[in-house]
Amino acid sequence: MSMNTKALNPIISGCCLVFWLMLSSASAQPEGVNYFGIHIVDQETGRGVPLITLTSVNHQSWVTDSNGWIAFHEPGLMNTDVFLYLQSPGYSVPKDGFGYAGVRLKPQLGQTVELKVRRDNIAERLYRITGQGIYRDSLLLGQSLALPHASQTAPNLVLGQDSVQVVPWRGRLFWLWGDTNVPHYPLGNFRSTCAWSQLPMQGGLAPQDGVALDYLKMPDGKLRPMMPSEQPGMIWIFGLLNVTDERGNEHLVGHYGRFKSLTKRVEHGLTEFDESLGHFRAVKKLEPQVWQHPEGNAMRVERPEGSYFYFTESFPVLRVRADYDSVLTPSAYEALAWSEGEKTFVWQSAQPPLTQQKEAQLVRSGHIRGDQACFQVNDADSGKPVIIHRSSVQWNDYRQRWIMIATQSGGTVSQLGEVWYAESIAPEGPWKKAVKIASHPRYSFYNPRQHPFFDQQGGRIVYFEGTYTETFSGNPVPTPRYDYNQLMYRLDLADPRLAACHE
């Protein structure tokens, strides 16, 4: 059968014109008119709260973006009263007479509503740093954004990132993550990913507003593997530090481990960023049993006997002199240990560092008196022991103390999601009392990292982040977009609830 194409041309043209007009009409609509905007804010500060989940009676869920917005448009639930359960780690609303915590709304397109929540955490959650859709709902609603090009943050590159290291270097901040999830396949970049950002006083955003990350990429636009290797396995870098050599040249150095699985390390050594290559390279491979190397979070400490880098996984119990040659020399590293002969703690190179668990055994056996212990941290409220999983320690000018932000191992409401604050007169301790500052029930928030370069008001306001993930939590439902990403918090050290851990 033949077809009269000439006769069809006006029809086709007319259809195309109608379709074009429909598109033009849709694009001309103001942003947000196709959604009902729900803005959830901290009742004390008025600031939008990220990671608030609203769930309908029929189990549909919506999660606030980093500005606290939800762009709501659910056919069948518009223009009618809708009850939404409200749930969030560290934030809440009062329960009604039947014990339900939530809100009743009447969603209408083009309208907005503001809901206030109580912050139960001492620390304030600010925003998600990494991943896709950080300000998704704000963009859909046409809201203004502090973070420039928020919709284009690493487009089509980053869905999730784990365990951050950050070092001021070359006048900027150098960011490194262990693993990165990508859109095109479940196995992403497991050879470390890096990015730059500007310091707040040198063109960067104020830390309460966000971090604009500029990722290091390959010529084809894909993320650059920062520790490339022909050998299989995941490669993680920790203990990242900026150290100068005798000529005053800066070097970005850390410890790398290549892992076959989460617990099976098949290679490790020292690594340095090579600017000519644009990635890290191994500079010294170490024997499997060698423990003398950077680890965890590095910090610089000035002592009467000289400058040192201290390394903190759970506690600052490993150090090395802060010069390039020493950092690359395993025999130069010292570990904190208990000397039975001297009945005191000593820095030495023969034995690996003392752990919180080993110290507890020595206390129970009577080798160390309770008042001599350095790492027996207790809840300042209940007096119960707090087992430290990972922590970040920094000097704080406001408190004139060393302060610790730590996650607990084996918490009562989460395995790795409880965050604690403690103080000490020295990086080695004693660390005695701690106050819980953030909780993530049935979720993980691990490998916390303080950012002293973001401190405000003379150190009164401090910033820290950690990896938010369902991994190790037993929770079968990962939070969309937020899971396996970095959350930023800030803490006001003048909060009277912290006084319980002051000396």
Residue type, 212: A
Question: Residues of the chain whose pLDDT is less than 70?
Answer: 1-31, 149-156
Report which DSSP code applies to 385.
B
Bridge partners (DSSP) of residue 38 are 70, 113
Structural element, H or E, at residue 327: helix 324-327
Q: Which segments within 228-359 are labelled E, that is strand? A: 234-244, 250-259, 265-274, 279-285, 297-303, 306-312, 316-321, 334-339, 344-348
Structural element, H or E, at residue 25: helix 5-28
Q: Are 377 and 342 in contact (CB under 8 A)?
A: no
Residue type, 352: P
Q: Which CATH class is domain 128-144+154-501?
A: mainly beta
Given this model, what pLDDT does residue 8 score? 37
CA 269 to chain centre: 25
Given this model, what pLDDT does residue 156 score? 67
Could you identify the residue written with the tokens 């070097």? 251
Q: Which segments within 43-192 are labelled E, that is strand? A: 53-56, 61-63, 69-72, 82-87, 91-92, 102-105, 112-119, 124-128, 160-169, 172-182, 185-189
Cα separation of 125 and 127, whole Å?
6
Given this model, what pLDDT does residue 14 score? 39
Given this model, what pLDDT does residue 153 score? 54
Listed residue (51, 49, 41, 53) closest to 87, CA to CA: 53
Given this model, what pLDDT does residue 255 score? 98
- Domain residue ranges in the chain: 36-120, 128-144+154-501
* Sequence-separated contacts (24+) of 355-359 with Cβ below 8 Å: 355/314, 355/317, 356/314, 356/315, 356/387, 356/388, 357/387
Count of other CB atoms within 10 angstroms of residue 274: 12
Q: Which CATH class is domain 36-120?
A: mainly beta
Given this model, what pLDDT does residue 472 score? 94
Cα separation of 479 and 9, whole Å?
51
- Is the pTM above the cut of 0.85? yes
